[in-house]
Structure 1
């Protein structure tokens, strides 16, 4: 596998030349004093060193060794413990955490770049600090001052890590039927009992303590999701000063043997009357958990993006070095007995598809991060309200589309390698395996699509879609005089009109066809995804033209934009055709005919 190199130039271009995120930072009192372009660059430069030199070199060996489970304890791969300690000592566990508790307090638009680098280096390793960061956010947003003061400094420092315990053997997406119970104790704590499965980092040897965020139901809980409460349940109990005392009644029953992310412990966790403390209000656990899930779902999307970037780097290096066959007369090197496979049209198609999806995905994840920042930090009510709507709409797209296109890119990379992409020697097949889970956990991509079309667009009667459409339309009006991109602007404008039209049609038909939303949701999400990337590419193209004189490498950006609109954007036509079919062709078969 090629040595990973963080795409720092492209990250800076997206952050500052395309989205001008520093202008948002200047308007936010919480960020203005601590963050500017130079500081952001220095932070990301250091983050790149962590990803390139500390994490990436261990990824392949960690995948081959995997985690080990014995007598209820999990041992992580060689080097993980030392690397995690270095990561924690550098402050990288708490990159987005509240500075009041020792965190860096980075805006999401900036931390998204670091997350991408860490995921490119090793997705499995990235999950340990990633889940901890999410748990920190949930406790900080909803926990009492007592809980925050006790747990957050130690979690931010990496002394303790965090998990998210939702899924049960019989309850995955349908959390309303969970069976885990929470019985009140006289001292104000609760006895938590139940079994949770697929718990990332539920047991490991990286930190002194593991703080589980557990969804459970109180005795008087109403039925369904409205009866779920959230609890902090530590592996070890601790005194007022944070010194660990006795082991809590929580244990790891087993670990899963998985297709990928072998360095990440995926655990079955048993809670047998374990001592826990309520986070937030009773029966309001799911909304509390969703505070972190908007960030976590973008984080999972970034896993797909990180793998795609690594795949592109690997495949490009291989394509340049691999001498095989002859190109057309116009491209061949007559002084050599064969040409690099880079001269072949199909190899170029795959590489450019990877490049277009990856760089488009980087811009998209940054844009979504910017909306999260505006929602959190903006002093303008109108800006914050619009950002809230955009976050609600785009979160399922970020999770699902980034991971769907991420897997596509890793498979293209594998195909560029040919047979070498299928064997262990080159490491490319690990990216395919590691990325596959990102389409499944944190809510499968099919569920994300239902969330987008059913809850967000349908539930708002199309209102949540309007800020998205209006922003792109406003941008297109702003570049109406730019003849260089008139064709691409027209394509994006037509796609936007198609999206508006098909959305209105679906809202009408869904009233009489109860299978409609479930039948077309995935195609609808992909339609929104490709339109979003089209918007990203047109924004990048315009910015690249303006900056090309001082940054010559942006000539490639302009050419890739042309490729995106010529070869990838047309996918929207097929998606529209499938959406217009509705549920009809899916429900022609009787069950026994499958």
Structure 2
């Protein structure tokens, strides 16, 4: 099985050199005490837990899976004990409010830790992450009494949390949901209905689970305008926070999935379960977007973490596996060379590395935005962060999941036949990462969100700000001019095709739908190109200043060149596909599908 080693040097490069997080923390309300040394110490402890506690359970979770019997779910061996230690060490409350038992640290520290958790054990990591999303949603939308009742045990790890959106008949079209809510006693509601695909919907890690459930109050308008959000505990909780009787919430079954076997994906049935309204009635979807947006960023990290894990496994194997003769020879005195000497294996490894490390730059940049969103010292800082984060989130979720899947498949390819069999662990990475392009909104939905709600909605202003920032950087960099021009060319194309879509979309009802995925990918390739140009600039300057870490910075410089010359041109294909319009998809007869 591949071992996981947290990439601490690259994490430090992104955190301290690219983003200068320690200076960033000085401008966050309540986070001023976090310096580089504190950051590194916390990350190093998180790395130990991921490497020593979670990575050894990854194959265990895949092989044993979760088990359902008589309505109860048991997690794989070792999962509950690891979760107890994780909670006892305070990781669940790392960035949560101190008033409820959290440590009040910047969210970006939680992002860094979550990447390591997911590289080590994606399925296990989802239990705590989903609880974190529920905590954030309750913190923002629950009244004070409900917060006092629910948040402390959730932050302490005694209770878990989920979000319950999907129903069998409606999928992502939440306006069709049928789960109902009827007024009950003392301001509560009685929730009835069935939800499916609920990750971590039932398990044996905690004594209670708080489900955040979308439902329609009797008499509410049809569609999404009539949806409300409710907190529904699995076990009833009295006003003092003590557990009472079961609450009409049952797990009807768990799904038998392609991957993430260690996380229970449940069908949950609500039978007049007691629930509590969060936020305003009929505005539940707005409240749930606190959870959804946080989850979309988490999914981008899951995918990037798999790219890292697959790259680590493939790189170690390529250095040891001896097969055929390389040019030039690596071991002239032997009949064959390590496969890392072959050109196409280098293409694969560099593609994985470029996606894993480029993705890290993007996800940590998003994390920096989340810091400002929650701890920005001024309303202006928080508003600017929200604006940029709204633009980056669909790109991060969509693009990084697509490239994470590609990186995982490439990892199998390096191993050849050995990658296809279970004992090496590479095929598990490919199975586990596949879900990331589907849940929290499929990637076409991310592309539609990017185009319609982010680029079109404000007339392209947020995008123009980002493109202007990129262009300003390209004018003041020490990176070789041919690489700078490669990025400038794609930035120009990104702006041009955005304007064309905005101007032409009204003439073709299907143009946006036909272009959304390709627009997402074009955006992602160009944005990651910007990060790699920044990384190359830092590397050039460090080498010019005489850094002793020559290999590290040369690696950054050379990976940037590879990305800008070999991967960034993929954006051109997506540009061409967008400009081809929708007629090649929609102006065809049913005969195209005849068999």
TM-score of the superposition, structure 1-length normalised? 0.97
Q: Report if the CA contact (8 A) 2:299-2:436 is conserved.
A: yes
Cα distance in 2, alignment partners of residues 95 and 550 from structure 1: 34
Residue aligning to 2:20:
20
**How many Å apart are 1:108 and its aligned residue?**
3.0
Cα distance in 2, alignment partners of residues 578 and 435 from structure 1: 26
**How many Å apart are 1:457 and its aligned residue?**
1.2
Q: Report if the CA contact (8 A) 1:182-1:217 is conserved.
A: yes
1:209–1:291 distance in 2 versus 1, CA, 3 Å: same
Cα distance in 2, alignment partners of residues 361 and 272 from structure 1: 43
Deviates more, 1:18-27 or 1:147-156: 18-27
Residue aligning to 1:506:
501
Deviates more, 1:68-77 or 1:545-554: 545-554
**How many Å apart are 1:582 and its aligned residue?**
1.3
Q: What SS class does the counterpart of residue 523 from structure 2 fall into? A: helix
Residue aligning to 2:206:
207
**How many Å apart are 1:182 and its aligned residue?**
0.8
**How many Å apart are 1:240 and its aligned residue?**
3.1
Residue aligning to 1:411:
409
Residue aligning to 1:6:
6
* CA distances 1:523-577 after superposition (whole Å, capped 9, x unpaired): 1001110111011001111112233404332221111111111111111111111
Q: What SS class does the counterpart of residue 155 from structure 1 fall into? A: helix
Equivalences for 1:251-330 in 2 at 5 Å? 251-328=250-327, 330=328
Instruction: Determine if the alignment matches structure 1 residue 542 to structure 2 residue 540.
Output: no
Cα distance in 2, alignment partners of residues 477 and 21 from structure 1: 24
Deviates more, 1:420-429 or 1:283-292: 283-292
Q: Report if the CA contact (8 A) 2:95-2:109 is conserved.
A: no
Residue aligning to 2:565:
566
Cα distance in 2, alignment partners of residues 312 and 541 from structure 1: 20
**How many Å apart are 1:188 and its aligned residue?**
0.9
Equivalences for 1:57-456 in 2 at 5 Å? 57-328=56-327, 330-456=328-454
Q: What SS class does the counterpart of residue 339 from structure 1 fall into? A: coil
Cα distance in 1, alignment partners of residues 265 and 23 from structure 2: 41
Q: Report if the CA contact (8 A) 1:139-1:279 is conserved.
A: yes
Q: Report if the CA contact (8 A) 1:24-1:374 is conserved.
A: no
Cα distance in 2, alignment partners of residues 295 and 450 from structure 1: 18
**How many Å apart are 1:474 and its aligned residue?**
2.1
* CA distances 1:184-232 after superposition (whole Å, capped 9, x unpaired): 1131110000100000111111100011000111113122212111111
* CA distances 1:129-182 after superposition (whole Å, capped 9, x unpaired): 010000000000111001111111100011000000000111221111111111
**How many Å apart are 1:284 and its aligned residue?**
1.5
Q: What SS class does the counterpart of residue 202 from structure 1 fall into? A: coil
**How many Å apart are 1:462 and its aligned residue?**
1.6
Cα distance in 2, alignment partners of residues 121 and 209 from structure 1: 26
Q: Report if the CA contact (8 A) 1:386-1:467 is conserved.
A: no
**How many Å apart are 1:52 and its aligned residue?**
0.3
Q: Give unpaired runs (5+ residues) of structure 1.
A: none
Deviates more, 1:554-563 or 1:469-478: 469-478
Cα distance in 2, alignment partners of residues 393 and 29 from structure 1: 24
**How many Å apart are 1:382 and its aligned residue?**
3.9
Report the RMSD for the aligned CA atoms in angstroms.
1.2
Q: What SS class does the counterpart of residue 507 from structure 2 fall into? A: coil
Q: What SS class does the counterpart of residue 51 from structure 1 fall into? A: helix
Deviates more, 1:373-382 or 1:433-442: 373-382
Cα distance in 1, alignment partners of residues 173 and 336 from structure 2: 57
Q: Report if the CA contact (8 A) 1:164-1:213 is conserved.
A: yes
**How many Å apart are 1:385 and its aligned residue?**
2.8
Q: What SS class does the counterpart of residue 582 from structure 2 fall into? A: coil
* CA distances 1:240-278 after superposition (whole Å, capped 9, x unpaired): 332211000010011100000000000000001000111
**How many Å apart are 1:238 and its aligned residue?**
2.1
Q: What SS class does the counterpart of residue 478 from structure 1 fall into? A: coil
Q: What SS class does the counterpart of residue 168 from structure 1 fall into? A: coil
Q: Report if the CA contact (8 A) 1:297-1:395 is conserved.
A: yes
**How many Å apart are 1:106 and its aligned residue?**
3.1
Residue aligning to 2:459:
461
Deviates more, 1:502-511 or 1:332-341: 332-341
* CA distances 1:471-522 after superposition (whole Å, capped 9, x unpaired): 212222332xx2x432221111121111111111111110110000000111
Cα distance in 1, alignment partners of residues 110 and 237 from structure 2: 31
Residue aligning to 2:469:
471
**How many Å apart are 1:316 and its aligned residue?**
0.5
Cα distance in 2, alignment partners of residues 143 and 470 from structure 1: 39
**How many Å apart are 1:344 and its aligned residue?**
0.7
Cα distance in 1, alignment partners of residues 471 and 60 from structure 2: 49
**How many Å apart are 1:327 and its aligned residue?**
1.0
1:510–1:439 distance in 2 versus 1, CA, 3 Å: same
Residue aligning to 1:582:
581
Q: Give the one of 477, 480, 485 matched to 1:485.
A: 480
Instruction: Determine if the alignment matches structure 1 residue 525 to structure 2 residue 520.
Output: yes
Q: Report if the CA contact (8 A) 2:66-2:74 is conserved.
A: yes
* CA distances 1:446-476 after superposition (whole Å, capped 9, x unpaired): 1111111122212222223122112212222
How many residues are treated as equivalent by the alignment? 589
Cα distance in 1, alignment partners of residues 219 and 10 from structure 2: 53
Q: Report if the CA contact (8 A) 2:404-2:433 is conserved.
A: yes
Q: Report if the CA contact (8 A) 1:102-1:156 is conserved.
A: yes
Q: What SS class does the counterpart of residue 193 from structure 1 fall into? A: strand
* CA distances 1:422-450 after superposition (whole Å, capped 9, x unpaired): 00110100000000001101111111111
Q: Report if the CA contact (8 A) 1:96-1:133 is conserved.
A: no
Deviates more, 1:346-355 or 1:466-475: 466-475
Q: What SS class does the counterpart of residue 77 from structure 2 fall into? A: coil
**How many Å apart are 1:332 and its aligned residue?**
3.9
Deviates more, 1:24-33 or 1:401-410: 24-33
Q: What SS class does the counterpart of residue 480 from structure 2 fall into? A: helix
